[in-house]
Amino acid sequence: MKKKDFLKIAKKKLNSRLIVGTGKYKNMTECAKAIKISGAEMVTVAVRRVNIVDKNKPLLMDYIDPKKIIYLPNTAGCFNSNEALRTLRLAREIGDWKLVKLEVLGDKKNLLPDMIETLKSTEVLSKEGFEVMVYCNDDPLMAKRLENAGAIAIMPLAAPIGSGLGIQNKLNIQIIRKQTKLPLIIDAGIGTASDASIAMEMGCDGVLINTAIAKAKKPYQMAEAMKYAVIAGRKSYLSGRIKKNIYGNASSPKKGLI
Catalytic residues: 101
166 φ, ψ (degrees, to nearest 5): 80, -175
DSSP assignment letter at 2: P
Distance CA 187, CA 156 (A): 6
SS3 state at 94: helix
Distance CA 118, CA 97 (A): 19
CB atoms within 10 A of CB 126: 18
70: enclosing H helix or E strand: strand 70-74
Distance CA 128, CA 109 (A): 31
